[in-house]
Amino acid sequence: MYKNINVKIKYTLAIASIFFIANSCRSTDTDSNLSGSNLSGVSFNLTESDFDESDILASQASLKTKVAAPEILRQESTSGPFNITAELSPNIPSTKFLAQSSANQGAIAVNKPLSLRGGVKYRIIAYQADGTYIDQATGDASQANQVFFADKLTKGQTYNFVIYSLGNTVSNPPVIPTVNLNSDPSYSFTFLGSYLTNTADLMWAVERNVKILGTPGDSTQPTPLTTPLRHIFTRVNISVDNSDAVGSQKGGYLSENTVNATIKSSQLYAASIFNFNTGTITGGSVYSSGIAANGINATDQSYIVNTSGMLNSTITISVPAGAIKVGNDVNPVPVTFSFSNAGGGLKPGYSYTLKLRFNSDRYVNSSNITRNTGDSDALYAIIGGYRWDRYNLGVTNLNPASSNPDQNPSIQALYGNFYQWGYKTVATTSYSGDGAISGWNTTPALDKAWNSGTETNPVKTLADPCDSGSRIPTLTEFNTLTNNTLHTSIGNWTSFSGSSTGLSDYTAAHVMTSKKNRDVKLTFPAAGWRSLSGGNQVDRQAGGIYWSSTDIQNTSQARYIRLFVNGSWDTTGYGRTAGESLRCIQDK
């Protein structure tokens, strides 16, 4: 199901020229000495109207304006374990917006040299004042001070000029019909399969009634053209948002699978007929197959859409089943987001950002059905796609409704048992007292006692004490959890000494809260550990010490994670006969 959240604000985008005067090279193949001649040319360093996040708006009436937020269209959907969000917004910083009253008076936008995009090819066409065709030539935006039609324009006479580009740095734009400008010369551009900013970004400008500077016989420099190119279509930058949660808004993860999406719109033309006199699209055919946006990740991919040039365009993006994978979570069904023109639609000449956000962090029961934190069967928390037990192994009351695993402060009943690395049997419990344990095992388990597979593909062994369907996590899995969470602490703590018993009120615990969903967390009681040789209690409430299934081969040590006060933690190795806490992860 969808949730539509529309935050609306009107905004305008206007253009202002940047004046360039140039005087060196020609667009033709032969040289011409303009000094003392009745002929002259036109020159310019080509600019384009900004339609990206560098747009700067300023009121023509006043610069003392209020700041308004950009329009944001947000939709949410679910696919299996995933909450998926699509967020569409214009690429204009909120700090650059005009207050509504000032915006109504008009705004200007600063343009930028087209050369910033490299050697973009463009075409310029010259016409007599009555529209009669004269000639056309091509230019390269990376070459400054270009001069055109130096042997065809008469000083003191008036002409019209059309300039256009497709943003291509390799091929020159097509030749347009050599007819009178007033007869609306047109061309059918085909973008099928290549709706990229370097091949389909149609930009156009017309400069009418340009009087060529100078008088016969003088040495006046070529006449500068100043009108920037205007973007005819709409640009959309698509990415996966992997930022952390902000307030109640969830964050997102990058997918471990390749995300190939499809972009469709009834205003996406396979062929667009463009009128060079009016700068409008006069016809075309809809591209029903849509744009293949492959390999979407955290880096923006830019596509040209709305190739019909409609004022209120729509856009739809679809992500197939199996494309989204985070840990063990995969989306089982496709998901589609459709942004209609009910909210104003996408406008030509504007750039937008479409962000996809994938999140599956949640509480679940044993069937992986999403539950609330206090539900009696909400025994697990999924963070980063991995399902973790909410209780230490050995806790007897496994009911979040009556025994909150995250209660603050913690209690002794949540501390659980102690286990020696590689053994299935309980070494001791949190109720066994602080002294040495009679008959404490001093024989370290063999390598791979808890993982007969590898670090990346663990295989549970018969010696693993976790319940069926769960196993002891690897150090890598612990590191993934710690990297996906924020770390805090609760209760009373003491300094980690490595020798003293510690405190005895059992209130201390280390809390890991999901970075992507602040409502999901895991709490690890700081039970300390039991000594190597006798099993006596050490460092209770100074640290939470948890075994991983990762051994240090050919030694008597294994890896564990230590969780401290104020959210600090580390991983290291220690003797396998020490007694430490266990927290199980789903065996999948």
Q: What is the pLDDT of residue 311?
A: 87
Q: What do you get for the CA distance between the two ends of the chain, in Å?
A: 29
Distances (CA, A) of 312 to 83, 87, 349, 355: 29, 18, 12, 20
Residue 68 confidence (pLDDT) above 80: no
Q: What is the pLDDT of residue 45?
A: 66
Distances (CA, A) of 566 to 322, 492, 516, 523: 39, 11, 20, 13
Distances (CA, A) of 106 to 93, 98, 123, 182, 233: 18, 9, 31, 30, 22
d(CA 153, CA 147): 12
Query: Could you please report the per-residue DSSP string of 93-108?
Result: -GGGPPPHHHHTT-EE
Give the tens place of pLDDT for each residue, 382-422: 999 999 999 999 999 999 999 999 999 999 999 999 999 99
Give the tens place of pLDDT for each residue, 306-322: 999 998 899 999 999 99
For strand 261-264 and strand 315-319, is the pairing parallel, antiparallel, or unpaired? antiparallel
Q: What is the pLDDT of residue 205?
A: 95
Domain ranges in the chain?
Answer: 11-58+112-183+199-231, 72-95+234-359, 363-586
Residue 24 confidence (pLDDT) above 90: no
> Could you tell me what percent of the chain has a pLDDT over 90?
75
Highest mean pLDDT: which range of 6-10, 110-114, 513-517: 513-517
d(CA 578, CA 560): 11
More confident residue, 259 or 344: 259
d(CA 346, CA 303): 13
Q: What is the pLDDT of residue 114?
A: 80
More confident residue, 220 or 459: 459
Residue 381 confidence (pLDDT) above 90: yes
Residue 93 confidence (pLDDT) above 50: no
Q: What is the pLDDT of residue 115?
A: 78
Q: What is the pLDDT of residue 342?
A: 59
Which of 135-139, 194-198, 287-291 bottoms out in mean pLDDT, i.e. has the lowest?
194-198
Give the tens place of pLDDT for each residue, 558-587: 999 999 999 999 999 999 999 999 999 999
Residue 27 confidence (pLDDT) above 60: no
Give the tens place of pLDDT for each residue, 153-182: 999 999 999 999 999 999 999 999 999 999
Give the tens place of pLDDT for each residue, 426-443: 999 999 999 999 999 999
Q: What is the pLDDT of residue 400?
A: 98
In Å, how far from its chain's centre is CA 497? 44
DSSP character for 33?
-
d(CA 243, CA 333): 24
Q: What is the pLDDT of residue 37?
A: 60
Q: What is the pLDDT of residue 32?
A: 33
Residue 106 confidence (pLDDT) above 50: no
Q: What is the pLDDT of residue 50?
A: 60
- Do the beta carbons of residue 164 and residue 203 sit within 8 Å? yes
Helices (H), 406-561: 475-483
> Could you tell me what percent of the chain has a pLDDT over 70?
85
Q: What is the pLDDT of residue 256?
A: 97
Q: What is the pLDDT of residue 72?
A: 84
Residue 339, amino acid: F
Residue 221 confidence (pLDDT) above 90: no
Q: What is the pLDDT of residue 105?
A: 35
Q: Bridge-partner residues for 161, per DSSP?
A: 126, 207
Residue 26 confidence (pLDDT) above 80: no
More confident residue, 194 or 240: 240
**What's the mean per-residue pLDDT of the chain?**
87
Give the tens place of pLDDT for each residue, 518-531: 999 999 999 999 99
Residue 103 confidence (pLDDT) above 50: no
Average pLDDT over residues 256-264: 96
Residue 6 confidence (pLDDT) above 50: no
- The continuous run of DSSP H or E covering 581 comes out as none
CA dihedral 104, 108, 109, 111 (to 10 degrees): 160
pTM of the model: 0.85
Rg (CA), the chain: 34
Query: Could you please report the per-residue DSSP string of 174-227?
Result: PPPP-S-GGG--EEEEE-TT--BTTTS--EEEEEEEEEPPS-TT--PPPEEP-P
Q: What is the pLDDT of residue 214?
A: 87
Give the tens place of pLDDT for each residue, 474-511: 999 999 999 999 999 999 999 999 999 999 999 999 99
Place of tokens 């300023």: 58
Q: What is the pLDDT of residue 552?
A: 98
Q: Which CATH class name applies to 72-95+234-359?
A: mainly beta
